Amino acid sequence: MTAWRVIVLLAFGAMTASAEEACIKATVTVDQVREVAAVSPLIYGQFLEHFHRVVYGGIYDPQSPLSDKNGFRRDVMEAIRRIHVPILRWPGGCFASAYHWRDGVGEDRSGTYDKAWRVEDPNTFGTDEFISFCRETGAEPYLCGNAGTGTPEELSDWVEYCNLSIGKWARLRRANGFEEPRRVRYWSIGNENWGGHEIGAKTPDEFARFVAETAKMMRRVDGLIELAAPSLPNADWNKALLGTAGPYLDYIAIHSYEDPLWQNNDPAPYARCMKWSVNPEALISKTHDLLRSLGNTRIRVAYDEWNLRGWHHPNFTAPVADIPARDANDLNKTYTCADAVYAGCFLNACLRHADIVGMANFAPLVNSRGAIFTHKDGIVLRPTYHVFDLYANHALSKSIQTSTKSGEFRAEDADVTAMDAALTCSGDGRYALAAVNRHDRLPLRMTLRFPESSLSETAELWTVTGAYPDSFNDVDRPGDVALIKTDITWDPRNPVCTLSPHSVNIVCFTASGK
């Protein structure tokens, strides 16, 4: 039995007094079952961009014996289905800001220069391939339109191509072999157009006007689509965007990467990652406060790019980009229990703020900083993959308000609470308590206080962890970080369980009103 499995199983054996003293103490209290909001399943979404091996050699590899007749990697699709990916954002990202969708449809395609990543894209994977991939895996397609070098008409024509039965572009889709409308519901007008790094960056007023006119045309084509536009927690940007385009929008899109590895691929150590693990909730709260200050109670947050690790692409805007250096993104040793714990804290923040977060997209899904790594003989499931497996299959549909108390520990120069928790329920007496132990070395002794309910005597504990904070999975060590189940028995009047160090957990139990 591996060391980390022993750690998990010992959590429910008899603990000596000295062992209990070595635990961090934490309490989760449910005063009464008070629902925050229904949880959007879209918070478990993923992201694909035409960057390095994410698409070509990732999900799409026609030359591989592991691919199907469409060129889609069968092992990748099986892994995606297992975690029930609800939505996939594509084609970018920065790539979208100079991408013209017409280059990637039909039989007559040729390669084009990708002005974002400065390589040639063959355009063999385009709109119809992407939507077909989504249909194969069960994910909703989420198309990100070109608001950099594109036009409102180009984006609205894309909606026509995908969703209408009449018109020039619908006829083109049918001629390309897709008789029925593709029914793409989710669309984004642009990507990070607030930033100087982005092709087609715009001022707040310029972008607000562009979004308003684009959204107007897109909705004239299909009034049932849902629209997002890129934002950031900046009053001037959002005042212009919402004041001009707000009536057309369903989401504003925010992004964050904590570990800025764009230029130097020197991943942060575990402690620094734990210090950063509180940042996504702070960004959600700041964005929510800004929306409310502008009088908006309808538009929700799409956190449609997030990851602990920033993508490595040195000299991105320099005269000569360092393309080969991007291979460093695929070093599996980079992705450790730190990435898993960060992901658990991120998803817990989305659950606690289910009233405002309507979508989130881990960036990316495959290769680079992704949850799945492909190689010629198969795939490696990185630690973050197992976190999505945990939440997608065991978290429930309603977010419940709780209060938590937890001991703290020193993470570099910051005091961080050891436990991060969120409670969900199904409405039929089933509960799932997501609880992260951020501490690198110490187990966490968690007490659940649920005074108005009668709890079951048994529960299931599902845990993602490894033997060490820096444990990782690779081709020759695919299971060093994994998801395991432990059946536990506790005192329903005083339920207590112990969480392993550097672990992400969900405790599944039942409860009924007294």
Q: Which of 49, 140, 160, 192 is catalytic?
A: 192
The pLDDT value given to residue 196: 94
**Phi, psi values for residue 102, rounded to 5°:** -65, -20
**What pLDDT was estimated at residue 11?**
46
- What CATH number is attached to the domain comprising 440? 2.60.40.1180
The model's pTM is 0.95
What does the DSSP 8-state code read for residue 104? Answer: G
- Reported as a pLDDT band with limits 50, 70 and 90, residue 33 is confident
3-state DSSP assignment of residue 36 = strand
Residues 122 and 186 placed together within one structural domain of the fold: yes
Q: Rounded to whole angstroms, how far apart are CA atoms 441 and 432?
A: 25
153 catalytic residue (yes or no): no
Statement to judge: residues 410 and 489 lie in one domain: yes
Mean pLDDT, residues 113-126 taken together = 97
Q: Phi then psi for 28, rounded to 5 degrees?
A: -115, 125
**Percentage of the chain surpassing pLDDT 90?**
93
Same domain, 331 and 409: no
Is the pLDDT at 514 greater than 70, yes or no?
Answer: no
The pLDDT value recorded for residue 13 is 40
Contacts of 55 (CB under 8 A, 6+ apart): 48, 49, 91, 125
Same domain, 129 and 22: no
178 and 244 in one domain? yes
Same domain, 181 and 65: yes
DSSP 301-330: EEEEEEEEEPP--TTTTSSS--SGGGGGGG
Q: Are residues 179 and 213 in the same domain?
A: yes
Q: Are residues 366 and 445 in the same domain?
A: no
pLDDT (average), residues 436-445: 98
Which residue, 394, 419, 454, sits at the end of a domain? 394
Q: 109 and 8, same structural domain? A: no
Per DSSP bridges, beta strands 251-259 and 226-230 are parallel
**266-315 pLDDT tens trace:** 999 999 999 999 999 999 999 999 999 999 999 999 999 999 999 999 99
Give 20's pLDDT tier (boundaries 50, 70, 90).
low
Q: What is the pLDDT of residue 406?
A: 97
- CATH code assigned at 319: 3.20.20.80
pLDDT tens sequence across 334-382: 999 999 999 999 999 999 999 999 999 999 999 999 999 999 999 999 9
Last residue of a domain, one of 370, 394, 418: 394
Do 459 and 378 belong to one domain? Answer: no
- 320 CB-near residues (< 8 Å, 6+ apart): none
With the C-alpha atoms ordered 64, 67, 68, 72, is the resulting torsion angle positive or negative?
A: negative
Is 226 among the catalytic positions? no
Residues 500, 366 share a domain: no
Q: How confident is the model at residue 396 (pLDDT cuts 50, 70, 90)?
A: very high
Q: Domain containing 100: what range?
A: 40-394
Q: Cis omega before residue 181 (within 30°)?
A: no
Span 23-31, mean pLDDT?
A: 95
Residues 307 and 228 in one domain: yes
Mean pLDDT of the chain: 95
Domain count of the fold of the chain:
2
Among 394, 415, 435, the domain-final residue is: 394
